[in-house]
């Protein structure tokens, strides 16, 4: 039979799907690893807007979820990390959740399914109110299927029946599939009214699925060049659970289509942080391999628990049939705080000044070509802080500070702090303004001065995986993660155009563009030979001691006249010292 007509009201349904420890590598549409099986997620991302620079608010579960639910950088209310040391009250009762804000508007039915992880930790005893005040049912979610694994505390069953009072439901099947079925039941229960669903699927986080699980048995065996047999098995378990996530989302989409709701439902998808680390102390994480969930972040630097890109850059997309044009690939940064802001605005609310995200629907729908963002993207976790402004990112761990241009260096290979001191100073000012505005319990101590694996590189002997050859110094490959290269040598040439990066910066050209400047060393006779640069203007520069601050123009001579070798003779007084030639693109 034909599906029933969609609801007559104009308010759309909104679903936020949040996966757990889902590595950036492990979304098929990213095209990084051919072993990934996510056809449903890939189809939705291709049918909407894929965010290539999508971020969570932290590289760990509790603070990331606190940010998403509150719409704020969680450090602003004192939440920094998991556990009872920092972030004792993940979202204080004085900070409304997005569900509470929607209920206050009066039109939406709200539901939370899966991993909540915003309870008061067991070891904490001094907190306002009762423990029950911090569970989903007391934080604005009228319906819930609460629990990472069986048993689940539920206000409805999988047939859609109301459970009053709530019941504990035991269901030992694949937890992601169960949570997906709960989402389908909620949609069935609320097909005739606007709803907000927060679907927090507990995968591919550990524990790994059983080797008797059908998803593992049906997943092909894997053999990675840089893995041992045990790691291949764990990777297979992790990717099998990602496939279950994909099928759970597929079930949600099928239910929306069954009730004619697809065109009236906005779907946001993101991971809560980067994939679980495996590089703890030795090659392959040999002393801690049992903690790995099989996820990958390659070729990004860092993993869960770091503010390098691999720690908080996550799979992310938005889908809304007939409202978000298909095929979009958004390179500008998006953060999960934007999901919260967009949800509230779309539901008819007004964005409060304390919100740190932006309404991105005008960008997604094509009304604008850029996100109207008023606040920088800022992170504070552990002993690290970071800030992104446009293409630029500044990162600090303990006393180590780095500057990156993520447009040209998305894998954070080259630290430009010493090369671009003025830009670094500008970014550090913005970073510290954010940091200093936080309450004391929301600030990192910035006290860890120990060597960081993600700075120094992978342990000696770590092999290069040919799937993920990182463009490194001189074009050669490096083991993952590559050691951070600080660009402070006046002779360093990152784009291999024979011109030092520092010199290019002084000349006002792009150190990452091999065509913007071309240089040759003078011969013993003081000659420079050009071939193939006819029609280009050139300028000859010199410095007596290779001092980047003391380049002087020797000759400013117009245009190279012919496509042949051309000699430029220097005066005798200029034959000593160092020379370079700037040849400008037409």
pLDDT at 581: 54
The residues, any chain, with a CB within 8 Å of residue 209's CB and separated by 6 or more, are: 174, 215, 216, 237, 240, 241, 244
pLDDT at 572: 36
Residue 480 has pLDDT above 90, yes or no: no
* SS3 category, 376: coil
For the chain, give the mean pLDDT: 84
pLDDT at 538: 58
pLDDT at 554: 53
How far apart are the C-alpha atoms of 38 and 244, rounded to whole Å?
9
Instruction: Classify residue 379 by its DSSP letter.
Output: E
Residue 497 has pLDDT above 70, yes or no: no
Highest averaged pLDDT of the listed ranges 93-107, 217-231, 275-289? 93-107
- Residue 540's pLDDT band, with cuts at 50, 70 and 90, is low
Question: Which is more confident, 237 or 495?
Answer: 237
Residue 404 has pLDDT above 70, yes or no: yes
Contact 82, 61 (CB under 8 A): yes
| Phi, psi dihedral angles at 202 (to 5 degrees) | -90, 70
How far apart are the C-alpha atoms of 156 and 149, rounded to whole Å?
16
pTM of the model: 0.82
Highest averaged pLDDT of the listed ranges 217-226, 346-355, 569-578? 346-355
Neighbours of 353 (CB within 10 A): 7
Give the model confidence (pLDDT) of 247-305 as tens digits. Answer: 999 999 999 999 999 999 999 999 999 998 875 544 333 456 778 899 999 889 989 99
Q: Give the residue-averaged pLDDT of 566-585.
A: 44
- Residue 521's pLDDT band, with cuts at 50, 70 and 90, is very low
Give the model confidence (pLDDT) of 325-382 as tens digits. Answer: 999 999 999 999 999 999 999 999 999 999 999 999 999 999 999 999 999 999 999 8
pLDDT at 464: 74
Q: Give the residue-averaged pLDDT of 541-553.
A: 51
- Residue 519's pLDDT band, with cuts at 50, 70 and 90, is very low
Residue 142 has pLDDT above 60, yes or no: yes
Residue 418 has pLDDT above 80, yes or no: yes
How far apart are the C-alpha atoms of 21 and 495, rounded to whole Å?
35
- Residue 563's pLDDT band, with cuts at 50, 70 and 90, is very low
DSSP 450-518: S--HHHH-SPTTPPPPGGG----GGG---PSSPPPEE---TT--TT-SSS-HHHHHHHTS-TT-TTT--
Q: Which of 281-295, 437-451, 472-486 is the least confident region? A: 281-295
- Residue 446's pLDDT band, with cuts at 50, 70 and 90, is confident
Highest averaged pLDDT of the listed ranges 66-80, 267-281, 493-507? 66-80
Instruction: Classify residue 313 by its DSSP letter.
Output: B
Contact 524, 455 (CB under 8 A): no
* SS3 category, 463: coil
| Phi, psi dihedral angles at 35 (to 5 degrees) | -80, -10
Residue 585 has pLDDT above 70, yes or no: no
Residue 570 has pLDDT above 50, yes or no: no
Question: Which is more confident, 488 or 268?
Answer: 268
Structure tokens belonging to residue 388: 């992104």
Question: Which is more confident, 105 or 529?
Answer: 105
Structure tokens belonging to residue 360: 């991105």
Percent pLDDT > 70 in the chain is 76
Give the model confidence (pLDDT) of 144-174 as tens digits. Answer: 999 999 999 999 999 999 999 999 999 999 9
């Amino acid at each position: 039979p034909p599906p029933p007509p969609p609801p007559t009201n104009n308010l759309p349904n909104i679903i936020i799907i949040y996966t757990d420890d889902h590595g950036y590598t492990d979304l098929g549409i990213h095209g990084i690893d051919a072993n990934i099986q996510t056809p449903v997620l890939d189809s939705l991302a291709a049918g909407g807007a894929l965010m290539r620079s999508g971020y969570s608010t932290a590289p760990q579960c509790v603070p990331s979820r606190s940010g998403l639910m509150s719409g704020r950088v969680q450090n602003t209310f004192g939440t920094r990390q998991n556990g009872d040391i920092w972030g004792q009250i993940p979202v204080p009762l004085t900070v409304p959740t997005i569900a509470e804000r929607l209920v206050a508007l009066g039109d939406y039915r709200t539901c939370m399914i899966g991993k909540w992880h915003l309870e008061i930790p067991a070891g904490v005893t001094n907190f306002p109110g009762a423990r029950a005040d911090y569970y989903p049912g007391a934080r604005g979610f009228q319906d819930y299927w609460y629990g990472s694994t069986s048993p689940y505390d539920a206000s409805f069953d999988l047939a859609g029946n109301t459970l009053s009072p709530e019941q504990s439901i035991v269901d030992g099947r694949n937890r992601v599939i169960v949570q997906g079925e709960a989402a389908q039941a909620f949609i069935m229960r609320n097909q005739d009214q606007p709803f907000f669903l927060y679907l927090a699927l507990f995968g591919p986080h550990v524990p790994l699925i059983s080797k008797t699980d059908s998803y593992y048995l049906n997943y092909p065996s894997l053999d990675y060049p840089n893995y041992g047999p045990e790691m291949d098995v764990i990777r297979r378990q992790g990717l099998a659970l990602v496939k279950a996530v994909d099928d759970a989302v597929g079930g949600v989409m099928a239910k929306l289509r069954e009730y004619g709701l697809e065109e009236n439902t906005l779907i946001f998808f993101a991971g809560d942080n980067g994939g679980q680390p495996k590089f703890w102390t030795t090659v392959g994480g040999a002393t801690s391999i049992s903690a790995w969930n099989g996820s990958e972040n390659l070729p990004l630097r860092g993993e869960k628990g770091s503010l390098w890109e691999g720690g908080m850059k996550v799979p992310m997309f938005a889908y809304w049939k007939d409202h978000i044009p298909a095929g979009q690939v958004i390179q500008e940064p998006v953060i999960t705080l934007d999901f919260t802001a967009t949800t509230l605005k779309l539901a008819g609310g007004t964005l409060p000044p304390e919100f740190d995200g932006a309404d991105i629907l005008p960008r997604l729908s094509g009304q604008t070509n850029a996100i109207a963002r008023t606040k920088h993207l800022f992170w504070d976790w552990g002993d690290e802080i970071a800030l992104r402004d446009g293409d630029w990112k500044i990162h600090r761990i303990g006393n180590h500070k780095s500057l990156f241009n993520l447009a040209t260096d998305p894998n954070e290979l080259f630290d430009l702090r010493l090369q671009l001191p003025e830009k670094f100073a500008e970014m550090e000012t913005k970073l510290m303004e954010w940091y200093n505005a936080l309450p004391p319990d929301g600030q990192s101590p910035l006290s860890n001065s120990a060597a960081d694996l993600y700075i120094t590189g992978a342990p000696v002997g770590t092999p290069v995986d040919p799937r993920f050859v990182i463009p490194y110094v001189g074009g050669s490959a490096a083991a993952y993660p590559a050691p951070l290269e600080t660009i402070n040598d006046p002779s360093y040439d990152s784009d291999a155009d024979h011109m030092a990066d520092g010199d290019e910066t002084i000349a006002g050209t792009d150190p990452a563009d091999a065509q913007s400047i071309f240089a040759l060393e003078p011969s013993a006779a003081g000659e420079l030979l050009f071939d193939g640069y006819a029609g280009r203007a050139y300028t000859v520069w010199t410095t007596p001691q290779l001092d980047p601050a003391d380049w002087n123009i020797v000759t400013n001579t117009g245009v190279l006249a012919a496509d042949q070798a051309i000699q430029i003779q220097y005066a005798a007084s200029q034959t000593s010292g160092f020379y370079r030639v700037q040849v400008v693109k037409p």
